[in-house]
Amino acid sequence: MIDVKIPAVGESVTEVTISQWIKGHGEYVELDEIFVELETDKATQEFPAEAAGTLKILVEEGETVEIGAVIAQIDTSANASTPIVTPVVETPSSVEPKATGEKADQIITPVGESISEVTIGTWLKQDGDFVNMDEEICEIESDKATFEFPATSSGILRIKEEEGNTVSIGAIIASIDVMEGGTPIETSTTSSSESTTSESTDGYAAGHPSPAAAKILAEKGIDATGIKGTGKDGRITKEDALAAQKPAPAAKPAAAAPSPAAPVFAGISRETTRKKLSPMRKTVARRLVAVKNETAMLTTFNEVDMKPIMDLRKKYKESFKEKYEVNLGFMSFFIKASTMALQEWPAVNAFIDGNEMVTNDFCDVSIAVSAPKGLVVPVIRNAESMSFNQIESEVVRLAKKARDNKLSMEEMQGGTFTITNGGIFGSMLSTPIINAPQSAILGMHNIVERPVAINGQVEIRPIMYLALSYDHRIIDGRESVSFLVRIKQLLEDPARLMLGI
């Protein structure tokens, strides 16, 4: 029997979450076969079997474990046709833990630079539940990411802040009546069938979702109440959440006349639906309003003839993809042009800090991405030093993580300049809002064939309108217009991008 231990997966990573068991308990795995996915705050990794044999799973999906922890065992004496037999373990009846009289305050700790408050997203445990030390009890959301909050002690949870409340760093959101010794879990069993029944109906975790299941249910808009968990002690697992369906709405009784709550005009229903703003949406709204009120924001426009870039892409896109295994998109051209212009006009790459102007000699370009929970802005670090294929690979990686809600806090902090592309949705022109504390944002738009004058002749060319919104407190009109003209020059003559001139 070989213990399967969590290996070191990266510098500074001390724990991982069991994301998905690809092979099930009792299944046969081959040497080097992928059987589980591990998730850290930075990436999701596949884990291969170090030997062939029958798999015995020890840790459920959604559980967080430390580096070096044993998550499974492989019975190397078994072959592909040998079923695994789970022994029935006689365990003593549960012993009630004893209260110590102590209370452990659950305090919001700092979660990132410049973040002064967070929002209570979802309570994963209920008021009065028994929680174990380091067990996730709630999710907290900032304007950039969602974090799981672990219990600092074992005992009875006393919730003080409701879901949706915004609290400051250092605030007390709950307390725990500290208990020690014993366990509140009913584990007395006499047979495997009785054990399954006890675990699924009598355990303290019955009806409570695991962190992974809670996220899935929240995204589906399904209440965990009424869902029968198949996990340990009746806990709702990821599979239970994936299989859960919204209950069909109750049929409305026939009425002789429309009710005030559901007015009907000319035979057409005029019902309205109210939905509470998500914490992220509220935070984004507050920050956008603050930017409008606290900056001297101005927008300047220009247009770019995209034919040279489109011709270049058409000529080399197949060979580019064949060599680098990534598509040659428009974004790499705009990022490359922006970094060259930023180095020539450093005020556009600066920001105000109190009474000081801070200028950066590097270009960390933020790219706006539409994600399921709202707009997020991951950062491409040192974009000025990257090649076209490196930029394209990083754009694809960050966009995929954003859409999968897997971006880490580090990946969304510290940008110096932002690019947003409303053109993918069909936008012709816009005035994008600055991504504070940055001082400028470049807006891309759709490409439309328009008649333009070329050497005294009217030609039809693919034209894109560009918009640069900037903080007029530190960026003057000359700098902003020259910056945008430089981008236009580089994009209309892409050979300049390759030569750096």
Residue 120 amino acid letter = I
Catalytic-residue membership of 476:
yes
Select which of 75, 471, 476, 493 is catalytic: 476
Q: Which of 498, 418, 421 is nearest to 466 (CA)?
A: 421
Alpha carbon distances (Å) from 50 to 1, 76, 323, 463: 12, 10, 33, 56
Which pair of tokens denotes residue 353?
């800090």
Beta strand ranges found along 116-257 (DSSP E) = 117-123, 130-131, 136-141, 146-150, 155-159, 166-168, 172-180
Which pair of tokens denotes residue 124?
């994963």
DSSP for 421-465? EGGGGT-S---PPP-TT-SEEEEE--EEEEEEEETTEEEEEEEEE
Looking at the DSSP assignment, which residues form a beta bridge with residue 443?
420, 467
Catalytic-residue membership of 134:
no
Q: Confirm if 220 and 210 have CB atoms less than 8 A apart.
A: no
Alpha carbon distances (Å) from 469 to 135, 295, 298, 303, 481: 45, 11, 6, 15, 11
Q: Which of 197, 120, 205, 128 is nearest to 159 (CA)?
A: 128
Cα–Cα distance measured from residue 183 to residue 205, given in angstroms and rounded to the nearest whole number? 12
Cα–Cα distance measured from residue 139 to residue 145, given in angstroms and rounded to the nearest whole number? 10
Cα–Cα distance measured from residue 58 to residue 84, given in angstroms and rounded to the nearest whole number? 14
The residues that are catalytic are 472, 476
